[in-house]
Amino acid sequence: MTETPRKSPIRERKGKNRVSARKTVSPAVNNSYEITLEEALELFVNAKKAEGMRLRTIHDYYQHIEWFRRFLSEFYPDVNFIQQLTADLIRNYINYLKDERNPFAGIDKRERPRKGLAVSTINIRLRTLCTMCRFWAEEGYLTTNPMEKVKLLKSDSVDDLTGFTEKELKKLFGVLDTRQYSCFRDKVIMLLLLDTGIRINELVNIEIQHLDVKQLTLTIPAEIAKNRRSRTIPVSRKIMKLLLELHKENKSYFEPTDYLFLTAYGDQAIPDTFRRRLYVYAKEAKVKRATPHMFRHTFARDYLLNGGDIFTLQLILDHADITTTRRYIQMNKDHVQAQHRQYSPASKYLK
C-alpha cells in the first residue's frame, strides 16, 4: 500500500513579529520638562536596548503602552504627559481592565461577549507600567512614582495554571487533518510542547542543528531561552522522528532554511500564528480553552503523575526557583485519588 502524499501547504496569513524603527527623543534636562507618553516610552526603550533587551520584549512593551494610551485617549483626553499620571488614574485603569475591557476586542473571530480581562493579563500590563514608572522616576523625569502605591491584583483562581485533560487533547488532535501541511506542522508543535514542556517562544526558534538525533535531545541555546541559560532536554524517540519528517517536508516545499517550524509561505513561524490556529482548533473541537502555555502545564503535571521527580522537572522547565515549578502543578480530585490508590503505604498491609 503506497502512502498518500501530504497536500502542499495551505496559504496562511503572512505576519512578522518585528519592532519597527522609531524616532528617539532627546533626554529631558530636568523634571520640569513635560514628556509625552510616546516620548517617555522611547526614552525607556532606548535605555533597555543599550542593556541588551530582546526585540520580543520591546515589542510587548510597545503593545502594553498602546493599550494604556487608548484608555487615556478615551477616558482622560486631557492627560498628555507622564507628569500627569497619578495612582488614582492607574487604579481606574485597573478597574476598566477588570470590569469593562472586552477580551480580543477588534480581533476578527475572537471577540467574546464577556467583559473583563484575566487577572494574570492585567498584572502583566501593570508590571510593564511599574517597570517604566520606576525608570522614569529614577532618571528624574518624574518627581514621584505613580505606581509606587499601586498593587497587583490578587486572585484565588488557578485557571491560568491548569493543563488539558486527556479528553480535551484527544478532541484537539482529532480535528487536525494531517494531510495538510499546516495541520501536520501544528500537530508536531503540540506533541513537542507536550513532550518537553518548552515555551512556544523557544519552540518557534528551534533550528535543525539544535537536535541531537543519536542522543535524543534538544538544545535550547541561551540566545533563544527566556532566562538566557542554555539547556539540553530529552525528546522521545517518536517525537524526534516526527521532527525529522517535518524538516524533510520543509526541504521539499521551501527554500533552504535552518528553522524547523515554518509558515505555509516558508517563513519562520511566530507564536501568534499558532495561538490563532489553536483557538480555531479548540472551537472546532468544542474545547473550552486552549493556549500554548497549557501544554507546558500539562507536561509538568503528567510528568510528576507518571513518576518523574520535581527537581528534574525544574531543570527541564528552566525554572530558577522550585516554587515556580510547584505553581505549575495543579491536580484535580481524580489525580489525587489515583495517586493515593497507587502509592498509599497502607495498601501493602491489607490482605
Per-residue confidence in pLDDT tens, the chain, 351 aa: 444 556 655 444 344 443 333 333 444 444 457 999 999 999 999 999 999 888 888 988 999 999 999 999 999 999 999 999 999 999 999 999 998 887 655 555 545 556 788 888 899 999 999 999 999 999 999 999 999 999 988 865 544 567 899 999 999 999 999 999 999 999 999 999 999 999 999 999 999 999 999 999 999 999 888 888 899 999 999 999 999 999 999 999 999 999 999 999 999 999 989 999 999 999 999 999 999 999 999 999 889 888 888 888 888 888 888 887 877 776 666 767 777 777 777 766 666
The grid coordinates of residue 88 equal 488614582
CA dihedral 144, 145, 146, 147 (to 10 degrees): -160
Same domain, 145 and 198: no
Distances (CA, A) of 42 to 22, 61, 79, 284: 8, 10, 18, 42
CATH number at residue 66: 1.10.150.130
Are 130 and 194 part of one and the same domain?
no
CATH number at residue 225: 1.10.443.10
C-beta of residue 27 within 8 angstroms of C-beta of residue 43 = yes
In a domain, 350, yes or no: no
Tell me what pLDDT residue 20 has.
38
Domain edge (last residue) among 157, 178, 203: 157
How far apart, in whole angstroms, are the C-alpha atoms of residue 144 and residue 153? 22
pLDDT at 309: 86
Residue 319 and residue 179 share a domain: yes
Task: Give yes or no: residues 225 and 113 share one domain.
Answer: no
Name the domain count of the chain: 2
In a domain, 328, yes or no: yes
Which residues have a Cβ under 8 Å from the Cβ of 341 and sit 6 or more positions away? 347
Using the structure block, give the residue that is written with the C-alpha cell 484537539: 172
Full residue range of the structural domain in which residue 264 is found: 160-332
Q: Are residues 153 and 207 in the same domain?
A: no
Paired residues of 219 in beta bridges: 232
Q: Is residue 280 part of a domain?
A: yes
The residue from 157, 173, 201 where one domain ends is 157
Residues 150 and 171 placed together within one structural domain of the fold: no
Same structural domain, 172 and 149:
no
Domain boundary among 123, 157, 191: 157
What is the structure's pLDDT at 27?
Answer: 43
> Are 70 and 189 found together in one domain?
no
From CA 241, how far away is CA 235, in angstroms rounded?
Answer: 10
- Residue carrying C-alpha cell 498628555: 80
Give the pLDDT confidence score for residue 47 in this predicted structure: 94
Kindly state whether residues 248 and 100 are assigned to the same domain. no
